[in-house]
Structure 1
Amino acid sequence: MAQAKNNQKIEFEEKYMTRGQLIWRAFLRHKLGVISLGILIILYMLALFADFFSPYNPIDQSLKHTYAPPTRIHRSYKGTKTKAYILPVITYVDKVTYERSYKEMIFPRRLVVENADGSTAVYEIGNDGVESFKFSINTVESIKVNGEWHDVKKTPKISDYFLFDYNEETLTKGTGRIETSSAVAKEMYFKNYGSRFGLTDENQIEAVAITEILDTIVVKKNGKFEMIKGKVIDYDYKTYPVKWFAKSWKGKLLWIFPMNLHLFGVDNYDNNQYVRFYILGADLYGRDVWSRIVFASRISLSIGIIGMVITFALALFFGGVSGYYGGLIDEGLMRFAEIIMSIPGFYLMIMLRAMLPLDLPSTQIYILLVFILSFIGWAGTSRVIRGMVLSIRQREFVEAAIAIGLPNRKVLARHVLPNTATYLIVNATLRIPGYILGEAGLSFLGLGIREPSASWGLMLAQAQDVYVMTKAPWLLIPGIFIFITVISFNFVGDALRDALDPRSLG
């Protein structure tokens, strides 16, 4: 038995890996680099298929949803678990605090009313000719002086909807009384009603209150309005389901194919103007922040790639020609590069942009930004390439190519410049973040992309306000995307630099 084991032959399989496979194996050892590469792939997929990932057109406005916060998703209906849905939302300026606020809204679809004689009536939209409900709500504004409340204004209003708090108060209770002692409210009510009560100082007003009380129910039935005096004992309201692969606005997949299918959205089956699904909130004009971020990524991410390609084309030309030919050509090209390098990059960008008209459309501004960012980035890279070309030019394979009679342009293009590829790949991943930050900086200063187009820098510029930072912090989210993109490119660059090092290939 032992002899049989000794006679067994152990076979080894030799496997030869190409240089590309060795580089990929070394790259996979860098965990942060792999994760960052995955993040960048996701970001560029979002930019490429922006129309599919955006539930709304990024330029569509809804002034009823100014600075609306991220939409609250409900998963229970009157205490029972149900599929995810949202409710209509409106933003408004509070009459008491004079601050912008928002409320979710109930659009009743079924009412159970107890009449004055004790009988019960059921009204449901779509049944027995019932078309809609309306409610008469008395709004009473009061001020408190010397411990007593005094009514100063009473305003009845008719509404198709009913505001409610998170505890879902019943319709019979209305929205109740909202009371405040803020200095702003006291000042406003003192200006309007101080003379009526003989007040000499706004501080004599101890508090301000607004009370909304449900008064009358109005039912539209068969084209006629019917007023009902009674008590609402039960009701059902409309809900709007959140759906995957929802159909809404018409976009263009890959800029070519018309489509109205999007990854997610809300089923607004009755075209309710108050129904909006904001996963990252809304901006000043009620535009969906998520949709604008996704479309803005097309500009912010592509400008780095295109700018890098142009920069390296210029750097390869100037650095390669200067290093290969030398002499007066080298002196002239490198002195010009040093002049460009002597000017601080950001100030050079501002100077070049200021020399151009400010009222250009966004498409032309985009092209100009690419040109500006490329112009300021090639000089430093060209000097590095020149040094590499000077070294590569002395190699035996270059001398052999010259000896067999190849023209200088072919030697430079086929044998010299390709050997700088390793440096260019690593340098590209480290330079792209600079272009992204450059575009963001110019747009932030108002010298870049303009409305209604969007870029991450422009969206951040719209958030440079104390009110926005405190009341609508979701407008700062584009800054998070810039941070993640820049740090991801840097990690990928570090991983590539290590992977391309011959000592790491094994």
Structure 2
Amino acid sequence: MAKNNVNKTNNKTGFEEKYLSRGQLIWRAFLKHKLGVGALVVLILLYLLALFADFFAPYNPAEQSLRHTYSPPTKIYRTYKGQRVKPYVLPSMSYVDKITYERTYKEMLFPRRIVIEKNNGERVTYELGKDGVESFKFSVNRIESIKVRGEWYDVRKTPVVSDYFLFGYNDDVLNKGISRFETTSSVAQEMFFKAYKDRFDLTEEEDVQAVAVTEQIDTIVVKRDGKFEMIKGKVIEYDYKIYPVKWFVKSWTGKFLWIFPMNVHLFGVDNYDNNQFVKLYIMGADLFGRDVWSRIAFASRISLSIGLIGVIITIALALVFGGISGYYGGLVDEAFMRFAEIIMSIPGFYLMIMLRAVLPLDLPSTQIYLLIVFILSFIGWAGTSRVIRGLVLSIREREFVEAAVAIGLSNWKVLTRHVLPNTTTYLIVNATLRIPGYILGEAGLSFLGLGIREPQASWGLMLAQAQDVYVITRAPWLLIPGIFIFVTVLAFNFVGDALRDALDPRSLG
């Protein structure tokens, strides 16, 4: 008897039947599409960036800093004097070189401790905040030289007093007490040729073979207890200020979810002494010294929401026109579809520009935003409505619709409860594939100057700053908004393809 029970136990199968709903089957089929899943993750991250832009942006997107015009992405250091330390940045700024007339970006050193060897051999140490020391200043002799017929001539000597080191030779000035910068720039040759043509009997610009700038520390000025102490000597050792990069930094005040004031941001630099030259630009700065990353975060709100809102309005119009046309037919069908065909016959982009051009150009950004949504929706509904009409024509002939009519339901209830809901599968796929077109449409209008206006930002408006070849060569990071547009459009297309495959009955198993 016991043996028979064992055999019965062994004969039992280890499988359990499980019935999945249609939604679960669709989700299982969607997960098989790896590109679609990855694209969905990217879109979720992008929309989280838009939703919590105030938290992710380390700077106010409208905050200007003309000292940092076209500053490149800030370099983050991990070593200080050969030792490994926490990440930090240095003060920086951009300026137009007076010799070459080229915009240059340089980092600066703000000393916090210096060891000076006086001319009499005595060594003395000064440190900010100790023994009443308030600040350092350095008197630097700046000598401009010109090379003519193989010989150098000093043409101008200028004393420069500075509490920071500006032009990038300054590290050499501290280490060696002197630095020298030479150039054969045609701009510099032209400038010095005009200034010293008669003095050196110059006949052409090429006679100026080179131009040089030499800087040498002359005097160190220490402010202590409100008094200035001038020291003749040289700096033999120094420490400079560094500004740590940290997570969850308090800075400008934004609004969390557009409602709650918030001054905590995901990352930033600890500017403990409010140094106006300290910035953390992870994606560089634009013409006005505004942080590109912060503007991208806020611009995503406009660029991403226009697609969603535009598609919702488009689908609503397409359901109304296509549903009524397909269900009622006759003159209503003729009138609605001929109107849709007229709109479809006009090239979309030109129709979009025409509609925007007839509207006032000096409208506020909020009104422009609503107008762009309206224009994009007006252009997109016609094609979708014709497909909806075809689906409705097919669905209204099915048995369940005839049964609904037979039990006495009104035409409106039959259309809204039984016919239009069966077009949902198509609408979901259509929406994911149309959103990229709306994003590109807004970007195109803003790129042409017909869309969102300053100080608001959209990805298209930011990309318009990179139209100039000179700007692209000097500040290629201004093309980053174009990368966001490309990634977003590609992600929506991948998700749309994955949804189309997942909703196919043959893929549900």
What TM-score do you get using the length of structure 1 for normalisation? 0.98
Q: Which of 380, 383, 392 is matched with 1:380 structurally?
A: 383
Does 1:331 find its partner at 2:334?
Answer: yes
- The residue that corresponds to 2:504 in the other structure is 501
Letter aligned with residue 21 of structure 2: T
- The residue that corresponds to 1:484 in the other structure is 487
- The CA distance in 2 between the partners of 1:374 and 1:103, in whole Å, is 48
Report SS of the residue matched to 1:71: coil
CA offset digits 1:224-246 (Å, max 9, x no partner): 11110012111111110000000
- The CA distance in 1 between the partners of 2:15 and 2:439, in whole Å, is 50
CA contact (8 A) 1:172 1:214 kept: no
Q: Which of 86, 99, 106 is matched with 2:89 structurally?
A: 86
CA offset digits 1:432-461 (Å, max 9, x no partner): 000000000000000000111110000110
Q: CA RMSD in A?
A: 1.5
Q: Which of 278, 291, 295 is matched with 1:292 structurally?
A: 295
- The residue that corresponds to 1:317 in the other structure is 320
- The CA distance in 1 between the partners of 2:445 and 2:488, in whole Å, is 18
Does 1:465 find its partner at 2:479?
Answer: no
Letter aligned with residue 77 of structure 1: Y
- The residue that corresponds to 1:122 in the other structure is 125
1:391 positional shift: 0.4
- The residue that corresponds to 2:33 in the other structure is 30
1:155 positional shift: 1.7
Structure 1: unaligned runs, 5 residues or longer: none
Tell me which moved more, 182-191 or 485-494: 182-191
Measured at CA, do residues 492 and 349 of structure 1 come closer, stay the same or move farther in structure 2, by a change above 3 Å? same
Q: Which of 27, 44, 67 is matched with 1:64 structurally?
A: 67
1:121 positional shift: 0.8
- The CA distance in 2 between the partners of 1:345 and 1:174, in whole Å, is 66
Does 1:418 find its partner at 2:407?
Answer: no
CA contact (8 A) 1:106 1:164 kept: no
1:174 positional shift: 4.8
Does 1:354 find its partner at 2:357?
Answer: yes
- The CA distance in 2 between the partners of 1:162 and 1:312, in whole Å, is 60
Does 1:132 find its partner at 2:135?
Answer: yes
CA contact (8 A) 1:96 1:210 kept: no
- The CA distance in 1 between the partners of 2:3 and 2:235, in whole Å, is 93
- The residue that corresponds to 1:269 in the other structure is 272
- The residue that corresponds to 2:405 in the other structure is 402
CA contact (8 A) 1:55 1:248 kept: yes
- Correspondence list, 1:85-484, <5 A: 85-163=88-166, 168-169=171-172, 171-174=174-177, 176-484=179-487
Report SS of the residue matched to 2:383: helix
- The CA distance in 2 between the partners of 1:496 and 1:476, in whole Å, is 31
Tell me which moved more, 23-32 or 5-14: 5-14
CA contact (8 A) 1:113 1:122 kept: yes
Letter aligned with residue 326 of structure 1: G
Does 1:19 find its partner at 2:33?
Answer: no
1:467 positional shift: 1.2
Say how many residue pairs are matched.
Answer: 506
- The CA distance in 2 between the partners of 1:441 and 1:12, in whole Å, is 57
- The CA distance in 2 between the partners of 1:457 and 1:56, in whole Å, is 20
Q: Which of 50, 54, 59 is matched with 1:51 structurally?
A: 54
Letter aligned with residue 124 of structure 1: E
State percent identity of aligned pairs.
76
1:165 positional shift: 5.1
Structure 2: unaligned runs, 5 residues or longer: none
- The CA distance in 1 between the partners of 2:41 and 2:177, in whole Å, is 51
- The CA distance in 2 between the partners of 1:485 and 1:319, in whole Å, is 29
Report SS of the residue matched to 1:245: strand
CA contact (8 A) 1:320 1:386 kept: yes
CA offset digits 1:370-398 (Å, max 9, x no partner): 00000000000000000000000101111
1:97 positional shift: 2.4
- The CA distance in 2 between the partners of 1:387 and 1:203, in whole Å, is 77
CA contact (8 A) 2:217 2:234 kept: no
Report SS of the residue matched to 1:162: coil
- The CA distance in 2 between the partners of 1:199 and 1:360, in whole Å, is 57
CA contact (8 A) 1:463 1:476 kept: yes
- The CA distance in 2 between the partners of 1:59 and 1:173, in whole Å, is 42
- The CA distance in 1 between the partners of 2:207 and 2:359, in whole Å, is 58
CA offset digits 1:79-126 (Å, max 9, x no partner): 111111000001111233221111111100111111122211111111
1:175 positional shift: 6.2
Letter aligned with residue 264 of structure 2: L
CA contact (8 A) 1:218 1:226 kept: yes
1:166 positional shift: 9.7
Letter aligned with residue 447 of structure 2: F
1:5 positional shift: 5.9
CA contact (8 A) 1:96 1:209 kept: no
CA contact (8 A) 1:173 1:214 kept: no
What TM-score do you get using the length of structure 2 for normalisation? 0.97
- The CA distance in 2 between the partners of 1:102 and 1:175, in whole Å, is 21
Measured at CA, do residues 167 and 128 of structure 1 come closer, stay the same or move farther in structure 2, by a change above 3 Å? closer
CA offset digits 1:247-281 (Å, max 9, x no partner): 00000000001000000000000000000000000
Letter aligned with residue 488 of structure 2: T
1:10 positional shift: 2.4
Report SS of the residue matched to 1:352: helix
CA contact (8 A) 1:165 1:175 kept: no
